[in-house]
């Protein structure tokens, strides 16, 4: 096979949110850049993660709403028996993905980034070999190597992928809706997709090893989610260990703390026990970079232990969030271009798109206490918010955490319908060093869910107006 050699200043491995943003920014700054992507531009997030899952969440919500209106509705709306064509739903979802990934390609081209489609193997910190789909190989040499290879679903040895056992990737492009779905993992991926399938008509059981759902979030935030799952009819099996499938392959065997075993009937099993950095199979071991667990160890400029080798996004560990990768990618491009930057965000918001949604930014009350801060916390319930009433969704609350001495806000949490959109206000207030008085004294539009942000700050100051 023929082999050619290219040279560039910046070589980016991986075209997900971190990699493509880094390449676009580098292109804007005039840095010669090559981006290598083995599959599709946009990475997990655009193709098989954030974007398609939100599309299916929306479709499932609309279908569930239609079925709700087939019964009795206080709004006076009635419909005859609704149906869903899952093939058309998936095609619609794929259309959104196609528009976004096409847009990424156009932006890279516009900014002079050369995209090489193929699978990269690292030879050393300056040299990569890329094999294209047609079997041809080429070498690329660079001054700066940016590793943005992302993550992959963590397998469960007792229930290997294949056949009826799927990851989130397959779950996002179903050919049909199973009658009985067992979801292994009660984190955000398992609950988001479990809720989708339940709303689309499947019987859903969720198995979680911890004693509550969303174990990385504090318990107060998860209570409204657990209550909503119960109303939907999602079965929760908490504090359970998965042993494997039964002999016939028709059920998932689970075990409680006492050792008692039960079997959950299933015609599809979704394994959603987390994601792990993609570090295997592409020569990363040749660089012998320092690790932090399974992830690459980086400093506050995303530098690895090898000079001019950088790492961003999921391959650099938690938090595995697309917007973190994007911000890191932008910074690395600017550093390569000679600018001075450090990655020191005041907070990185995280959103769980369950029903209701959960958003956190900064420190929770327990985290503030663990950090040795003397803080006060105050919550404002959506039950006292007029906009929430008009949306028929009054579950949940907004909570603020602030230092007792100077009222500096150190954290926000919220659970409720549409609270993902409050993450912007949370992030801005933390980044700008806002105090309780700053937020309480800002006039918020009425009627909006965002008023609960102001009311939480007012409550922390001792004079909430609407409770």
Collapsing DSSP to helix, strand or coil, 424 comes out as: helix
- 460 CB-near residues (< 8 Å, 6+ apart): 376, 377, 378, 400, 402, 407, 436
For the chain, report the end-to-end CA distance as a whole number of angstroms: 74
DSSP string, 442-461: SPPPSS-TTHHHHHHHHHHT
Mean pLDDT of 42-71: 94
- Tens digits of per-residue pLDDT, 225-252? 999 999 999 999 999 999 999 999 999 9
Q: Is 288 in contact with 122 (CB distance < 8 Å)? A: no
- 199 CB-near residues (< 8 Å, 6+ apart): 60, 61, 63, 64, 232
| Domain 350-461 architecture | 2-Layer Sandwich (3.30)
Mean pLDDT of 402-419: 98
pLDDT of 47 over the 90 cut: yes
How far apart CA 56 and CA 54 sit, in angstroms, is: 5
351 against 465, higher pLDDT: 351
How far CA 401 is from CA of 359, 368, 416, 430, 457, in Å, comes to: 14, 8, 18, 11, 9
How far apart CA 225 and CA 358 sit, in angstroms, is: 8
Mean pLDDT of 129-155: 96
Task: Name the nearest CA neighbour of 363 among 426, 435, 457.
Answer: 426
How far apart CA 417 and CA 393 sit, in angstroms, is: 6
Structure confidence at residue 382 as a pLDDT band (50, 70, 90)? very high
Task: Tell whether residue 335 is among the known ligand binding residues.
Answer: no
Mean pLDDT of 78-92: 94
Q: pTM above 0.75?
A: yes
DSSP string, 164-218: TEE-HHHHTS-SS--SEEEEE--SHHHHHHHHHHHHTT-EEEEEESSSSSSTTS-
Q: What is the pLDDT of residue 1?
A: 46
Task: Tell whether residue 186 is among the known ligand binding residues.
Answer: yes
Task: Dihedral sign for Cα 196, 202, 203, 207, please.
Answer: negative
Q: What is the pLDDT of residue 96?
A: 98
Task: Tell whether residue 437 is among the known ligand binding residues.
Answer: no
pLDDT of 23 over the 90 cut: yes
Please tell me which residue in 444, 446, 463, 466 is annotated as part of the active site.
446
CATH code reported for the domain at 165-273: 3.50.50.60
Q: What is the pLDDT of residue 68?
A: 86
Structure confidence at residue 2 as a pLDDT band (50, 70, 90)? low
3-state helix/strand/coil string of 241-260: EEEEECCCCCEEEEECCCCC
Task: Tell whether residue 386 is among the known ligand binding residues.
Answer: no
Name the segment(s) of the chain with CATH classification 3.50.50.60.
5-48+90-152+276-337, 165-273
Phi-psi sector, 43: left (phi>0), alpha (psi -120 to 50), beta: left
Q: What is the pLDDT of residue 321?
A: 97
Task: Tell whether residue 331 is among the known ligand binding residues.
Answer: no
Mean pLDDT of 281-289: 96
Structure tokens at 357: 């949604």
Mean pLDDT of 11-39: 98
Q: Is 353 in contact with 420 (CB distance < 8 Å)? A: yes
CATH 3.40.50.720 fits 5-48+90-152+276-337, yes or no: no
Q: What is the pLDDT of residue 72?
A: 78
Average pLDDT, the chain: 96
- Other CB atoms within a 10 A radius of the CB of residue 95 amount to 11
**Burial (CB count within 10 angstroms: exposed 0-12, middle 13-18, buried 19+), residue 280:** exposed
Q: What is the pLDDT of residue 80?
A: 87
Task: Name the nearest CA neighbour of 192 among 211, 172, 178.
Answer: 172
- 433 CB-near residues (< 8 Å, 6+ apart): 346, 408
Q: Is 189 in contact with 272 (CB distance < 8 Å)? A: yes
pLDDT of 442 over the 70 cut: yes
pLDDT of 74 over the 90 cut: no
Tell me if residue 407 is catalytic: no
Name the segment(s) of the chain with CATH classification 3.30.390.30.
350-461
């Amino acid at each position: 096979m023929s082999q050619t050699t290219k040279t560039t200043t910046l070589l980016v491995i991986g075209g997900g949110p971190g990699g493509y943003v880094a390449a676009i920014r580098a292109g804007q700054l005039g840095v010669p850049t090559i981006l290598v992507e083995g599959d599709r531009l946009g990475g997990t997030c655009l193709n098989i993660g954030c974007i398609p899952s939100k599309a299916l969440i929306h479709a499932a919500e609309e279908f569930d709403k239609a079925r709700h209106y087939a019964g009795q509705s206080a709004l006076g709306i009635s419909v005859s028996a609704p149906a869903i064509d899952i093939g058309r739903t998936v095609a619609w979802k794929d259309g959104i993905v196609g528009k976004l990934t096409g847009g990424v390609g156009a932006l890279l081209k516009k900014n002079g980034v050369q995209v090489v489609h193929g699978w990269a193997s690292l030879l050393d910190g300056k040299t990569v070999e890329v094999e294209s789909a047609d079997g041809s190989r080429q070498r690329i040499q660079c001054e700066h190597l940016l590793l943005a290879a992302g993550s992959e679903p963590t397998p469960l040895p007792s229930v290997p992928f294949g056949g009826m056992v799927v990851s989130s990737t397959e779950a996002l492009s179903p050919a049909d809706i199973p009658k009985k779905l067992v979801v292994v993992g009660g984190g955000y991926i398992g609950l988001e997709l479990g809720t989708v399938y339940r709303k689309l008509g499947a019987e859903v059981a969720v198995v979680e090893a911890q004693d509550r759902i969303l174990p990385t979030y504090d318990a107060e935030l998860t209570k409204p989610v657990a209550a909503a799952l119960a109303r939907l009819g999602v079965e929760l099996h908490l504090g359970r260990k998965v042993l494997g499938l039964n002999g016939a392959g028709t059920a998932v065997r689970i075990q409680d703390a006492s050792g008692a075993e039960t079997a959950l009937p299933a015609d599809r099993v979704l394994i959603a026990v987390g994601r792990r950095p993609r570090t295997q199979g592409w020569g990363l071991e040749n660089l012998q970079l320092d690790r932090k667990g399974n992830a690459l160890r980086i400093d506050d400029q995303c530098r690895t232990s090898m000079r001019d080798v950088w790492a961003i996004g999921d391959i650099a560990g938690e938090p595995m969030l697309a917007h973190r990768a994007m911000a890191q990618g932008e910074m690395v491009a600017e550093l390569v271009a000679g600018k001075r930057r450090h990655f020191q965000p005041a907070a990185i918001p995280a959103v769980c798109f369950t029903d209701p949604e959960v958003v956190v930014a900064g420190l929770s009350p327990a985290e503030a206490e663990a950090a040795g801060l003397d803080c006060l916390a105050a919550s404002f319930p959506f039950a006292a918010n007029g906009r929430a009433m008009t949306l028929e969704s009054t579950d949940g609350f907004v909570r603020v955490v602030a230092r007792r001495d100077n009222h500096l806000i150190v954290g926000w949490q919220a659970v409720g319908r549409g609270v993902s959109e409050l993450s912007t206000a949370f992030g801005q207030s933390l980044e700008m060093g806002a105090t309780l008085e700053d937020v309480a004294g800002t006039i918020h539009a009425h009627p909006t869910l965002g008023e609960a942000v102001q009311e939480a700050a007012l409550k922390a100051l001792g004079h909430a107006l609407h409770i």
